[in-house]
Structure 1
Amino acid sequence: MKLYVFVVNTGTTLTFDTELAVQNVSDLKHAIQTKYKIAIQHQVLVVNGGECMAADRRVCSYSAGTDTNPIFLFNKEMILCERPPAIPKTTFSAENEMELKVEESLMMPAVFHTVASRTQLAVEMYEVAKKLCSFCEGLVHDEHLQHQGWAAIMANLEDCTYSYQKLLFKFENVYSNYLQSIDDIKLKLTHLGTAVSIMSKIPLLECLTRHSYRECLGRLDSSVGHGGAESEETEDEKSAELVLSSDIPRVHNKSLLGSFCKSVEHSALDSTDPGNVKEDRESSQNTTVEDSKTSVELNETDLPSFNVSLLDWINVQDRPNDVESLVRKCFDSMSRLDPKIIQPFLVECRQTIAKLDNQNMKAIKGLEDRLYALDQMIASCSRLVNEQKDLAQGFLANQKRAENLKDPSVLPDLCLSHANQLMIMLTNHRKLLDIKQKCTTAKQELANNLQVRLKWCCFVMLHADQDGEKLQALFRLVTELLERVKIVEALSTVPQMYCLAVVEVVRRKMFIKHYREWAGALIKDGKLLYEAEKAKRESFGKLFRKSFLRNRLFRGLDSWPPSFCTRKPRRFDSELPDISLTDLQFLQSFCPAEVQPLLRVPILCDFEPLHQHVLALHNLVKTVQSLDEMSQTITDLLNEQKVSNSQASPQSATTPRMEKLLHHSVFRVPCVLLCVPQLH
């Protein structure tokens, strides 16, 4: 078994050991370079169907490598060469000597030696005929393989064309959408300039950059494990009350207000919009003049260490990609995507597709008919070989018969017959030489034809590959620009989102305080109510569990009420930043007018109905906990039952006192139902 590699350029077959089949394609390329001196960078290995062999895959993973389905090798160095590949002309040593030998044999006298010599010549002509036929069959087989190799490279070209068209179509769609949104992109960039000028005036709250709130929660969790539920409730209430305690002293707020005024002008000058920069400079100067009294009152020791604007914080999040570089990249991408540059390139791409679809170059007209004619020649060649074989066998038979007869009188007629047969064999030999010449010429012509077409294929695929890389780069450019525009759009809403988030945190903390107060009172009374009802049911159960009426007339007296509002709700909003109402008031006093409507103190819902509900529940608990006549009756009956059990008397344990209690109390409506207040 051999591994077959067919060189399409020259129509030659290379053979290798089958051990290479289990190795990588890169190893096969090294073997080709070592054995046949074809550089690796000039090798293109393709299998039937147009799939190009990958260097890191095994050779046996491809269904190719046999003599009828070889691996097709294209030599790029030979393709780019100016001269077409030369098909070597093979000449057998005896093929040109046949005519001279026949002429010499015809001049020999009619003797036994002449018969033997002519018989040997006939056998030799038959052997030459077999070689010529085999050689012609090889030439035609090579041309068929060249045709298959061309079909394989055309299939690969079709795949490349399809991928190229798909990429071009995808880019044209994205670019068309981009052209429609250019005005919108410019408007978003303008909005970002306005937002940048606003962000430069908005101070960043220091508590948003500290992790003290999370550390406080960590200490709180550890204290819960050691100090119990009361310490947790106390700490939670303290954390929530920070929002409402506007009187908590914050020494750095006032100093931060004054010092931040000094830095506004410098921050605003970093804005990307020149028009906004001018306006910001004027407004910052006015702000500085207005707050000069506040700044003068500050002592040097009170200067804050934290003096950062919202814009400063954004600029350091993705260094060196600050807001200015983001806008600069957007404008740079838009300039590179100018229609004056892209439209001519798209025209070139469409022309490349037209070149890739050149049917005059892709289809070799008449090649199938030519190969069919060559197959017919091979068939006639086989017939000539068979005829030469029959004639040679006739020579051998006549020689043997003459040797057996040993009659010289038959030699003249036999030699004359042999002379005629030699002329027939010489004619057949000439026909075989003509077929050989035609097959050799046909292979050379096909190689010349393929050379031109392979060179065209190489250039158009190279051009398509270069355009494809440029299309990929432009597609990435448009995609990245659209992603940056999304970031621009998000940054434009940062001032509003920042203020809304601060207000939302304050609102939630205010809500937490009221919610915990209401939930704590509700849980406390709910737990007492549940335990009181549970105690009464336990008392009645002890009395009624041995009664004859149980599970006969009164079913369901063994059930228990579900626990409700007996446990504290799970903790929530524990990771909120430590923003207080004082911080909100600080922002109100300093932020520009554009965001002032967003910095209003949040208004909570009315908790008064909930407080009334808690008060009603508290009254209900008091009523349930009170000792009514029904509960007293059950208690007395249980005591009497204990006394009767201790005496162990077989008589009935019912006493006149019990009858009196039953007469006066058992058939009364339980007062707990009459005392339940109406809940709203």
Structure 2
Amino acid sequence: MLYVFNVNTGAMFTFDMSLAVESVSQLMLHIQETCKIPSDRQVLLISGGEVLPPTARVCSYSAGTDTNPIYLFNLNLIESSHPPPPFIEQGLDIDFNESVKELIDMPATYNTVCQRTTLAQQFYESATELTKTCENIVHEQHMQHQGYAAAVANYQDTISDFRIRTEAFQKRFSDFLDERASYLKLLGTFHADLETLAKIPILPALVNSEGDTKTEENAEESHDSEAAASRKETREPPKTLLEWISAADNKKSMNVMFQHCTDQLEKVYKSLEMVVKNVLVEVTTEERTEIRGLTDRLCGLDKLLHEAKKYVQEQGDLAQSFLQNQARAGNIGDTSILPDLCASHRKQLKVMLDNHNRLIDNRRRCVKAKAELGEAIHRRLKWIVDQEDKVRELNHRMLAFCENLQRVRDFLQIVQQIHRTPAIYLSAVAEVVRRRAFSQVYLSRASELACHLLTIHNEEMTRRKEFHSQFDTHFICSLFPGMDDMPPAFATQAPDSFDNHLPKLTIEDIEQLIKALPQFSDDVKVPDIDSINNLFMVKTFVKSDIDKIDDRGVEEKIQQVVNEVGLANTMDRNLLKPAESDTCLATQGIPHLRDLDRGCESETDTEEFEKVGQSPLELHFEKDISSSPRPRTHDASTLTEDNLQTSRSEHDRLKSIVIKMAMLARQALGQLRSELMEYRALIVADRNTISMQYESLTSSWESLTIEIDNKEREIIHKMTTDHKMEIEDFKRLKESKEKEVMNLQNEVLQLETSLQNSSEEVCLLKKAVHELQDEYETEKKDMEKILESLKLEKQQCVKELGEKLVREHKAEIESIRSRFRLMSITKMEKSPSESNLDGIERGESKELVNHEAIILQLKENYEIEKQKAVSAAILQESRKWESILNEKLGEMKTKHELEKEIILDEAIKKSS
């Protein structure tokens, strides 16, 4: 079974276990059908305060058992002004008083015994039922306590979450207050920023580029959008940056945004802090959630249950004894034992009736405790719901404030962007000009480099393929591994064009903006086109590569190769002879290359081309060489001739490259010279401007020095006059202070005299107080003497009263004796005959004996009465004199207090 406990009424409901696999919303619908509580007014909690959401499954929570049920709260009952009546199953109430009276009055028969046994069994059954009812009521109160604890835990979780949100809100608000001064300063410059934007012109190139992009976008749309675009194009383009912003966003909305920012800053600053403080004060009152004395009350109810179980045990024992007595009386069949048995039954029935009444009283107390607990829980649940509603409302207000604050921040960011618009606009124009120049130079230089590297790559590929076609089929190819490798392509393709959609701005546009806004001239960096060109300008070989140039000729290189191969001993030394003319040409060409600009790099990065390019231009070998008788020498010579032919072809190609490089270097040199002339002209112009600025600065500095001197004179004059006036003021102040000092000294003297007089009066008052104390002590002693005399009088009176009572008692005893004697005499006179004298004398002797006993008894009674009377008289007199003494002492105390207050009042009046 699935257990659900209603905390409001204290009732337990059971549902089918199949609902545990359903959602919480299905369980709410079944609760609505069973308990008549709308599902939207139900709150389901588990121990710990966790809420069951409607979409979750019931089995996902460890709750729903008889010891750990799901706690149900009815919001309709919580929000009502009157607490709901508690749910109590009292059972049948049987009144046993009349039955007990009837059975007690019945005669002592066996039928009476049987009826009394049946009544005893009914007592026992009623006791068990009452005890079970009390146990259920106490258990339901424990469940109510646990359910209320779950509600309090949920409330505390809500408050802790709210505190976290409040702290986060306070942090955001404090951050906003820290930036508030800067925001106010920014808003103060808003109108000045608008005036600056009204001075900044919109460049025609920007308007044209915007129109081009709009036409491209509108070309893809429908004919209606084309018509709208045509209408927009017919409008007059904006002339200033402010007009462009106003065209995109109405100027009225900008003014409204500015007014909203200023108003909200003031409102948020004044009202928000008080709201947060009120929230924290509302939330932190947690004393109402605790039910004081509830644990003690529940412990008392548990003790009550323990007592009820004892009563049930006693009722069961008595009922069992009734059954045993009935069985014994039936078995014996002797009617003589029935009176005694019925007498004992009467007593036992009275005991059982008393126990029954006690159990009924225990049930009443349990019901009353549950009702009181329900009222206390109702009041506190109502307070918790009210507090949660307040927290929810305040949370909504905080969210509204946060949204308003975020909106203000967004508006302030827009205002900040408006403030930064002039500087960003100028920097963007300068950046566009720089990018256009960079992209043009970059693409041209990259294309040239790609074409050149493509030709070098293609020539190398063809050469390797030609050599490979001859070398691949030869048997010697196995000695040279790796001859199949091909150079990878590097930078053989020109890059794609970029920066095509940038506005067509120039340096003249930047100069125009600087003239319009001279205050921003320092913030604008005009791009240097010449420096961008110099980044990609083709230069001569790198200095490090030129330092590595080998000055040796081709003959020496070939001789080195022959030596490395091992043919130096077999070859003729006259095979390699340089031509003088070519050598001269080579020696004249190398210094020319070295005199080029050393910062330029080579078009190729291989050392072979650099070294071959610097070798002699032509080499001649003598073909009429005497053949050696050894074949190895002939093979070496043919190999050398083949190498020479390849080196000649390579040399011719490199020669053409070097000529092109020389032409390019001459062009670069001419360009450098023209740039140098331009730089010289710029330097001269800068010198002129600097000289003019220096003259203006000197003139302004002289004027400033004159102004500063004049201001210093004025300040000195003003300070001297102010100093004189201050001195006069100080003199006046000194005189006034001296007068005040004299007055204060006179007041001090007066106060000292008054203090001396008051001290004398205090001494006199102290003496008077001491005298009064002495008088009080003497009066006290007199009163004590009077009290002692009164005590003696009281004792004397008591003694006299005792003696008087003794005398009275003795007189009464004598009178009684005389009466008794007279009675005896009269009896003797009334005797019928003398024959009976002996009997009379015997009777008289008996009567005398009885008379003596009566006299003794009377004496004892009189002594007892005398003691009582004496003690009563003593008590009465002691009370009387104690009251008199207390009255006297009270009068004396009041009199002394009055005199003391009068003396103190007179002393206070005199001192004041």
TM-score, reference length from structure 2: 0.55
Higher mean displacement: 608-617 or 404-413: 608-617
Q: How far off is 1:563 after superposition?
A: 1.8
Give the Cα separation in 2 of the matches to 1:398 and 1:4.
49
Name the counterpart of 1:439. 366
Q: Which residue of 469, 480, 498 corresponds with 1:572?
A: 498
Q: How far off is 1:404 after superposition?
A: 4.5
Q: How far off is 1:585 after superposition?
A: 6.7
Q: Which residue of 351, 361, 366 corresponds with 1:424?
A: 351
Instruction: Name the amino acid aligned to 2:198.
Output: S
Give 3-state SS (helix, strand or coil) of 1:612's partner: coil
Give 3-state SS (helix, strand or coil) of 1:139's partner: helix
1:13 and 2:22 are equivalent in the alignment: no
Report the CA distance shift for 1:130/1:599 in structure 2 as closer, same or farther (over 3 A): same
Instruction: Deviation per CA, 1:469-497: give whole Å up to 9, x if none.
Output: 22222223223322332332223222322
Higher relative contact order, chain-length normalized (CA < 8 Å, sep 6+): 1
Give 3-state SS (helix, strand or coil) of 1:540's partner: helix
Instruction: Name the amino acid aligned to 1:334.
Output: L
Give the Cα separation in 2 of the matches to 1:308 and 1:4.
76
Name the counterpart of 1:133. 131
Q: Contact (CA 8 Å) 1:139, 1:440: kept in 2 or not?
A: yes
Q: Contact (CA 8 Å) 1:584, 1:599: kept in 2 or not?
A: no
Higher mean displacement: 304-313 or 178-187: 304-313
Q: Which residue of 383, 392, 404 corresponds with 1:477?
A: 404
Aligned positions of 1:88-103 closer than 5 A: 92-95=91-94, 97-103=95-101
Name the counterpart of 2:4. 4
Aligned positions of 1:201-216 closer than 5 A: 201=199, 202-203=201-202, 205-212=206-213
Give 3-state SS (helix, strand or coil) of 1:73's partner: strand
Report the CA distance shift for 1:560/1:407 in structure 2 as closer, same or farther (over 3 A): same
Q: Which has the larger radius of gyration?
A: 2
Name the counterpart of 2:43. 44
Q: Which residue of 143, 146, 161 corresponds with 1:145?
A: 143
Instruction: Name the amino acid aligned to 1:103.
Output: K
Q: Which residue of 281, 286, 295 corresponds with 1:351?
A: 281
Q: Contact (CA 8 Å) 2:19, 2:27: kept in 1 or not?
A: yes
Give 3-state SS (helix, strand or coil) of 1:74's partner: strand
Give 3-state SS (helix, strand or coil) of 1:493's partner: helix
Aligned positions of 1:265-664 closer than 5 A: 305-307=236-238, 309-315=240-246, 317=248, 322-339=253-270, 341-355=271-285, 357-358=286-287, 361-552=288-479, 554-574=480-500, 576-581=501-506, 584=509, 588=513, 592-594=517-519, 602-604=527-529, 605-608=531-534, 610-613=536-539, 661-664=638-641
Give the Cα separation in 2 of the matches to 1:620 and 1:176.
64
Give 3-state SS (helix, strand or coil) of 1:64's partner: coil
Q: Contact (CA 8 Å) 1:207, 1:579: kept in 2 or not?
A: no
Q: How far off is 1:186 after superposition?
A: 1.6
Aligned positions of 1:184-199 closer than 5 A: 184-199=182-197
Report the CA distance shift for 1:420/1:551 in structure 2 as closer, same or farther (over 3 A): farther
Q: Percent identical across equivalent pairs?
A: 30
- Structure 1 unmatched ranges of 5 or more: 220-301, 633-653
Q: How far off is 1:147 after superposition?
A: 1.0
Q: How far off is 1:334 after superposition?
A: 0.7
Aligned positions of 1:252-267 closer than 5 A: none
Q: How far off is 1:463 after superposition?
A: 2.5
Q: Contact (CA 8 Å) 2:135, 2:305: kept in 1 or not?
A: yes
Report the CA distance shift for 1:451/1:509 in structure 2 as closer, same or farther (over 3 A): same
Give the Cα separation in 2 of the matches to 1:470 and 1:557.
83
Name the counterpart of 1:159. 157
Provide the aligned C-alpha RMSD in A: 4.2
Report the CA distance shift for 1:322/1:507 in structure 2 as closer, same or farther (over 3 A): farther
Give the Cα separation in 2 of the matches to 1:107 and 1:526.
138
Name the counterpart of 1:636. none
Give 3-state SS (helix, strand or coil) of 1:44's partner: strand
Instruction: Name the amino acid aligned to 1:565.
Output: A
Higher mean displacement: 601-610 or 138-147: 601-610
Give 3-state SS (helix, strand or coil) of 2:483's partner: coil
Give the Cα separation in 2 of the matches to 1:379 and 1:540.
117
Q: How far off is 1:87 after superposition?
A: 3.7
Instruction: Deviation per CA, 1:63-101: give whole Å up to 9, x if none.
Output: 333332233233444344444444467655443x11221
Report the CA distance shift for 1:662/1:213 in structure 2 as closer, same or farther (over 3 A): farther
Report the CA distance shift for 1:469/1:364 in structure 2 as closer, same or farther (over 3 A): same
Give the Cα separation in 2 of the matches to 1:14 and 1:620.
93
**How many equivalent residue pairs?**
567
Give the Cα separation in 2 of the matches to 1:169 and 1:616.
66
Q: How far off is 1:22 after superposition?
A: 4.7
Report the CA distance shift for 1:162/1:417 in structure 2 as closer, same or farther (over 3 A): same
Q: Contact (CA 8 Å) 2:442, 2:536: kept in 1 or not?
A: no
Give 3-state SS (helix, strand or coil) of 1:550's partner: helix
Report the CA distance shift for 1:512/1:606 in structure 2 as closer, same or farther (over 3 A): closer
Q: Contact (CA 8 Å) 2:283, 2:387: kept in 1 or not?
A: no
Q: Contact (CA 8 Å) 2:443, 2:497: kept in 1 or not?
A: no
Q: Contact (CA 8 Å) 2:2, 2:20: kept in 1 or not?
A: no
Give the Cα separation in 2 of the matches to 1:521 and 1:479.
55
Q: How far off is 1:446 after superposition?
A: 1.8
Q: Contact (CA 8 Å) 1:174, 1:478: kept in 2 or not?
A: no
Q: Contact (CA 8 Å) 2:441, 2:532: kept in 1 or not?
A: no
Q: Which residue of 172, 176, 179 corresponds with 1:178?
A: 176
Give the Cα separation in 1 of the matches to 2:604 and 2:268.
76
Give the Cα separation in 1 of the matches to 2:252 and 2:474.
84
Q: Which structure shows the higher helix fraction? A: 2
Report the CA distance shift for 1:606/1:174 in structure 2 as closer, same or farther (over 3 A): closer
Q: Contact (CA 8 Å) 2:124, 2:316: kept in 1 or not?
A: yes
Q: How far off is 1:135 after superposition?
A: 0.8
Instruction: Name the amino acid aligned to 1:383.
Output: K
Q: Contact (CA 8 Å) 1:316, 1:322: kept in 2 or not?
A: no
Give the Cα separation in 2 of the matches to 1:476 and 1:212.
36
Q: Contact (CA 8 Å) 1:629, 1:665: kept in 2 or not?
A: no
TM-score, reference length from structure 1: 0.72
Name the counterpart of 1:71. 70
Report the CA distance shift for 1:43/1:533 in structure 2 as closer, same or farther (over 3 A): closer
Give the Cα separation in 2 of the matches to 1:525 and 1:167.
69
Q: Contact (CA 8 Å) 1:84, 1:447: kept in 2 or not?
A: yes
- Structure 2 unmatched ranges of 5 or more: 221-232, 541-599, 620-630, 666-912
Instruction: Name the amino acid aligned to 1:207.
Output: N
Give the Cα separation in 2 of the matches to 1:3 and 1:175.
48
Instruction: Name the amino acid aligned to 2:495.
Output: P
Give the Cα separation in 2 of the matches to 1:44 and 1:663.
106
Q: How far off is 1:133 after superposition?
A: 0.6
Name the counterpart of 1:225. none
Q: How far off is 1:41 after superposition?
A: 5.6
Give 3-state SS (helix, strand or coil) of 1:4's partner: strand
Give 3-state SS (helix, strand or coil) of 2:538's partner: helix
Instruction: Deviation per CA, 1:567-616: give whole Å up to 9, x if none.
Output: 12244334x33424399379649954455667776322253574434998
Give the Cα separation in 2 of the matches to 1:541 and 1:350.
91
Q: How far off is 1:159 after superposition?
A: 0.9
Instruction: Deviation per CA, 1:101-120: give whole Å up to 9, x if none.
Output: 12211222222221221121
Q: Contact (CA 8 Å) 2:106, 2:112: kept in 1 or not?
A: yes
Give 3-state SS (helix, strand or coil) of 1:425's partner: helix
Name the counterpart of 2:643. 666
Q: Contact (CA 8 Å) 2:152, 2:289: kept in 1 or not?
A: yes
